[in-house]
């Protein structure tokens, strides 16, 4: 294999480039992505960057020395529009074609938006640096912020906006936000952080649409969010955090199976052996179950496995996901590791839930530990993670 194209230049693509070089690949390595900026880290976008505590230079995933060490051909602002696996070519939106013996699919996903809001001023998603720039410019004193979606991203944005002194309302359709991930017992103290820091939370809130007003330039600007129960929540800024859609359109007709992501085996290898997929876009299977992990840590774990298998031309190693996820909300670090079921039994191992500083264990009925969760206690979490969690299975 002499040439490899990595399509997608966020953390999954960058980690794949690093993993390929570490695995000994010394051929031509091209990293292309549709974002016009050099590769950057996304987690700070909803936290330090949005709050104005960091600048764009702090987000960089690669500096000039890294690019030189990787001998990487970086093509920012170039979108892949088609993959011809028979010919080994990636067609791009600028009219160019890129020859490649191997391809890493790392195109991530696009933020879901409320239908019909594309041209409404004041309505934002938060997925890219440009998204964060636009949102940060609107977080002026007194702006009323409504966050649609109470998951990790929505909660982080709400936390950041409250720290800026803005009035914030969070709308979530679930009775208890985060319960599908954490279960009811541990979701409740996380949800309680909103009220404890002055954020208004409406649960079971189904969004019907937006209230808008005409602007001087003939456009429309959001003034509120309408709920199906007839209520209207006033808003100057609306942030939509309701998940992503995997970017797989460019794979149609390529021979790579697409089903809510680019389908792979548990070595991140697609139906086309010369194509692997990593990161948010990858849906990998082990037995009858399939998984798609939208987490920063997963991108690196998958990239190392995918690189080895791509160079081997077959699945010689399988992924062993740690399940590690972290979030920062209202000055507290939330950490999750393992693969718990929301219905698993919860046991507090250290600290006090009421003090919002604790570490908890998830256990199956047979006593097997399936996961650990911590709020504001990273040291204890790290120690218990090493001793309490079984090592992920691999081969």
Residues 137 and 201 in one domain: yes
Same domain flag for 129 and 48 = no
CA triple 116-250-86, angle to 5 deg: 165
Residue 169 and residue 151 in one domain:
yes
Q: What is the count of structural domains for the chain?
A: 3
Q: Are residues 254 and 232 in the same domain?
A: no
CA distance 22 to 100: 19
Q: Do 290 and 202 share a domain, yes or no?
A: no
- pLDDT tens digits, 77-91: 999 999 999 999 999
**What pLDDT sits at residue 287?**
85
What are the strands of the beta sheet with 237-240, ordered from one edge? Answer: 123-125, 237-240, 145-148, 168-171, 200-202
- Its domain, for residue 368, covers 331-388
Q: Is residue 23 part of a domain?
A: yes
Chosen domain end from 215, 240, 265: 240
Angle at 76 between CA 2 and CA 247, to 5 degrees: 85
CATH code at 196? 3.50.50.60
The domain that holds 346 is classified in CATH as: 3.30.390.30
Q: Which two tokens stand for residue 300?
A: 């690196």
Rounded mean pLDDT of the chain? Answer: 95
Q: How many CA atoms lie within 13 A of 185 on its CB side?
A: 18
Alpha-carbon gap, residue 60 to 80, rounded angstroms = 22
Burial 104-139 (b: 16+ CB within 10 A, else e): bbbbbbbbebbeebeebbbbbbbbbbebbeebbeeb
Is there a domain that residue 319 lies in? no
Residues with pLDDT less than 50, the chain: none
Does 355 lie in the same domain as 258?
no
| pLDDT computed for residue 395 by the predictor | 55
Q: What is the pLDDT of residues 268-301, one digit of tens each?
A: 999 999 999 999 999 999 888 899 988 899 999 9
What integer pLDDT is reported at residue 37 of this predicted model? Answer: 96
Pair 35, 61 in one domain: yes
User: Pairing relation of β-strands 89-92 and 97-99?
Assistant: antiparallel
The per-residue pLDDT for 392 is 61
What are 336's strand-pairing partners? 325, 373
Query: Could you tell me if residue 320 is inside a domain?
Result: no
Taking only Cα atoms into account, the Rg of the chain, rounded to an integer number of angstroms, comes to: 22
Question: How much is the pLDDT for 74?
Answer: 96
One domain, residues 255 and 225? no
* Residue 160 domain-assigned (yes or no): yes
pLDDT in tens, 345-395: 999 999 999 999 999 999 999 999 999 999 999 999 999 999 988 766 555
CA 86 to chain centre: 31
Nearest one of 195, 229, 292, 17 to 8, comparing CA atoms: 17
pLDDT attached to residue 394: 53
Strands (E), 134-249: 145-148, 168-171, 200-202, 207-214, 220-227, 232-234, 237-240, 244-246
Note the pLDDT of residue 70.
96
Q: Do 148 and 185 belong together in one domain? A: yes
Report the pLDDT value the prediction gives residue 360, as an integer from 0 to 100: 98
DSSP 195: H
Going by their DSSP bridges, the two strands 102-105 and 244-246 should be labelled as unpaired
Do 163 and 249 belong to one domain?
no
Tell me: do 83 and 165 sit in the same domain: no
Are the C-beta atoms of 240 and 232 separated by less than 8 Å? no
pLDDT, residue 289, reads 87
pLDDT, residue 29, reads: 98
Residues 220 and 252 in one domain: no
């Amino acid at each position: 294999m002499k040439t490899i194209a990595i399509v997608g230049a966020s953390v999954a693509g960058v980690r794949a480039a690093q993993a390929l070089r570490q695995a000994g690949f010394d051929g031509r390595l091209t990293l292309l992505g549709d974002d016009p900026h050099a590769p950057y880290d996304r987690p700070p976008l909803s936290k330090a960057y949005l709050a104005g505590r960091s600048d764009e230079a702090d987000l960089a995933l690669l500096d000039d020395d890294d690019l030189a060490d990787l001998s990487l051909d970086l093509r920012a602002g170039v979108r892949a529009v088609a993959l011809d696996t028979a010919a080994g070519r990636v067609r791009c939106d600028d009219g160019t074609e890129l020859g490649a013996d191997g391809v890493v699919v790392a195109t991530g996903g696009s933020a879901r938006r409320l239908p019909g809001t594309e041209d409404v001023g004041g309505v934002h998603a938060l997925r890219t640096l440009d998204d964060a720039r636009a949102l940060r410019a609107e977080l002026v004193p007194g702006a009323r912020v409504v966050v649609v979606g109470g998951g990790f991203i929505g909660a982080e944005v709400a936390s950041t906006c409250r720290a800026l002194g803005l009035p914030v309302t969070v709308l979530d359709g679930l009775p208890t936000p985060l319960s599908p991930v954490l279960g009811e017992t541990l979701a409740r103290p996380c949800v309680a952080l909103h009220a404890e820091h002055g954020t208004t939370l409406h649960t079971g809130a189904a969004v019907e649409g937006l209230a808008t007003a005409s602007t001087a330039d003939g456009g429309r600007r959001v003034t509120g969010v309408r709920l199906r129960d007839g209520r209207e929540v006033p808003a100057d800024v609306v942030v939509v955090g309701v998940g992503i859609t995997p970017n797989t359109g460019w794979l149609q007709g390529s021979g790579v199976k697409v089903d809510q992501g680019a389908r792979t085996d548990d070595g991140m290898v697609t139906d086309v052996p010369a194509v692997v997929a990593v990161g948010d876009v990858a849906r990998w299977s082990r037995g009858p179950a399939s998984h798609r992990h939208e987490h920063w840590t997963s991108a690196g774990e998958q990239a190392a496995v995918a690189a080895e298998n791509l160079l081997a031309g077959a699945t010689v190693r399988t992924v062993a996901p740690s399940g590690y996820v972290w979030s920062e909300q209202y000055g507290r670090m939330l950490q999750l590791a393992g693969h718990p079921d929301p219905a698993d039994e919860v046991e507090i191992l250290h600290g006090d839930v009421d003090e919002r500083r604790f570490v908890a264990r998830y256990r199956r009925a047979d006593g097997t530990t399936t996961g650990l969760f911590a709020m504001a206690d990273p040291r204890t979490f790290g120690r218990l993670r090493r001793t309490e969690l079984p090592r992920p299975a691999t081969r």
